Amino acid sequence: MTNSLNKLKEFRIQIDALDRQVISLLKQRMNIIKQVAEYKKTQNEIFYIKSSREADMLKKLIADNNSSFSSASIVAIWRKIITNANIEEQDIKLVVHNPKNNPEIEYILRDYYNNEIEIHHFDSINSVISELQKDPSKIGIFSLPNQNNNNNEDWWINISNNQTNLKVFASLPFVKFKTNNVALKTTHQLVAVAQKQPEQSNQDITLLVCEINKDYSLSKIQNLFEKNHLQANILKVNQSPHFVGMQLILIQLQGFFLENDQVLQNMQNDSLKPYITIIGHYPTAIDI
């Protein structure tokens, strides 16, 4: 019995020593983060988060993981480390469009960021956008609509008409679980919006708004994208608030595209005459 206890004590001493090393490395990491923050200030950046860099880093950590340590745990731990670094670099706050006070939205945000970040909920889309315009360090959160739900999330129309460079830059949750376990699934997909320049990761989705004559069917519009070898997913359709006879269509496009890319220019020269506005990009989610 004594030998067993001594052996267990030896293991615990080794684990405690490793834990101290982990804490020491985290301190070193935070010291570098402080230097990064000072450097970003010299570059006249107004929003410091590099979401594509974060996504690529997480995907590489999972790809390099050849141990029994779960990929989900790696994402959970590093997301907290990343958020701690984000807060150290800049005083970020979340402003959330949550008119129904849905608790699942805050759960997703706490899981992605942490329990310390400030979260403010608003009933009005315009209130969230106003907060983002006043303070470039704030992050707006909206629910991403799709054809399978009946929500009235029309924030994307406001973003497409906005002149202050508000762009979608992330999608949450960042992890999709390949499981039938209902407890691990969420009914909301959220997007993060800020005053941010486009940033490409290794694998992206482009979010765009297509303005086009309302007489054209969705299948005809889908065929237009396919004709140009683009994988498009139509999320929502609304009547244009500004032009009679026009419809606005929210579309996910596989890949990273900018408005001046030749393939999108070619589409806008098509006989259907679509007008395309890019409202952001986000890295694809991790499937676990």
DSSP 180-197: --GGG--S--EEEEEE--
Distances (CA, A) of 90 to 33, 75, 206: 11, 22, 26
pLDDT at position 148, please?
Answer: 62
What's phi and psi for 194, nearest 5 deg?
Answer: -160, 175
What pLDDT digit, counting tens, does each position of 15-41 carry? Answer: 999 999 999 999 999 999 999 999 998
Sorting pLDDT into bands at 50, 70 and 90, what band is 285?
very high
Are residues 93 and 109 in contact, defined by beta-carbon separation less than 8 angstroms? Answer: no
Orientation of helix 2-42 relative to helix 71-89, angle to 10°: 40
Quick: pLDDT tens for 136-179: 999 999 999 976 655 667 999 999 988 778 999 999 999 988 76
Say how far apart CA 257 and CA 248 lie, in whole Å.
19
| Phi-psi category of residue 167: left, alpha or beta, with phi > 0 → left and psi -120 to 50 → alpha | beta
What are the Cα distances from residue 263, in Å, to 114, 216, 235, 248, 249?
40, 21, 21, 20, 18
Name every residue whose Cβ is closer than 8 Å to that of residue 116 and which is 6 or more positions away in sequence.
87
> What pLDDT digit, counting tens, does each position of 73-121 carry?
999 999 999 999 999 999 999 999 999 999 999 999 999 999 999 999 9
Q: Which structure tokens are listed for 55?
A: 């996504």
Which residues sit opposite 143 in a β-bridge?
A: 190
pLDDT at 108: 96
pLDDT digits over 231-267, tens only? Answer: 999 999 999 988 899 999 999 999 999 999 999 999 9
Residue 110, C-beta contacts closer than 8 angstroms, at least 6 positions apart: 119
